[in-house]
Structure 1
């Protein structure tokens, strides 16, 4: 996808530090010297092109409740079906495919560990597959920003 100047500046500036205010898109527009409609249009185009999956905060999960990384070994012919079953749970995010015996990976977040255990049991019952529960032992912080700068 070719990025126009506004999209490139939008990504560079707001991968981190999304404005926390009543009108964040208007604040973004003021900083980028454009209209709020232009910001919303650029975000919509990025999402339609699958260049953007979401706009929102990343929370420190340990302060918001509990979370765990989960993997499932799904037979290839059942991948779409099982992914749809897993995605039905509002506690699920970051669902993605990997090249491994454990090929479907996702993160569960909930207010407390007991709810995570309940969702894991539900997923096992619904899919007939045993979830591999991989709770975080230690956090290693990395910067997930990807500056685009003037790259064409």
Structure 2
């Protein structure tokens, strides 16, 4: 991974600038141009390296969310991940070494929409989706440093 891309991914995970031209500000910090940076962001998105750039809100302040898990046969993992990722309400997922080997977070405007998304994923995949709503909030920095 090129050094500029590593630095870009590290830079935007925390403190994304809330200004009219955030990419230009990040580019200045990284010693490049906004155009170069946007070209890299587009390339990362098209390659599937980055699936989403957007805010993460404190749970239950805007809409609702849940952690979900599925027991996906290994030979179907790519197919099921594609089905899950096709839902804009899914903001990230992880493959784990466990019977429940696909975990993902769903965020929706309300509980009804959240349940519609979970049901849709279950129907599309034919695999039960376990809904694990948050009982207590613990803040953990989920940034993944690449340096």
How far apart are the structure 1 equivalents of 2:12 and 2:82?
31
Once the two structures are TM-superposed, the CA of residue 81 in structure 1 deviates from its matched residue by 2.4
Residue equivalent to 1:136: 134
Q: Within 1, Cα distance between the matches of 2:42 and 2:71?
A: 34
Question: Aligned partners of 1:13, 1:87: CA distance in 2, in Å?
Answer: 24
Q: Say which of 106, 115, 118 aligns to 1:117.
A: 115
Which segments of 5 or more consecutive residues in structure 2 lack a partner in the other structure? none
Q: Can you give the 5+ residue segments of structure 1 that lack an aligned partner in the other structure?
A: none
Counterparts in 2 of 1:112 and 1:32: CA distance versus 1, 3 Å: same
CA radius of gyration, larger in: 1
Residue 61 of structure 1: SS of its match in structure 2? coil
State the aligned residue count. 146
Q: How far is the alpha carbon of 1:47 from its aligned partner?
A: 6.3
Moved over 6 A (4+): 45-51
Match of residue 25 from structure 2: 27
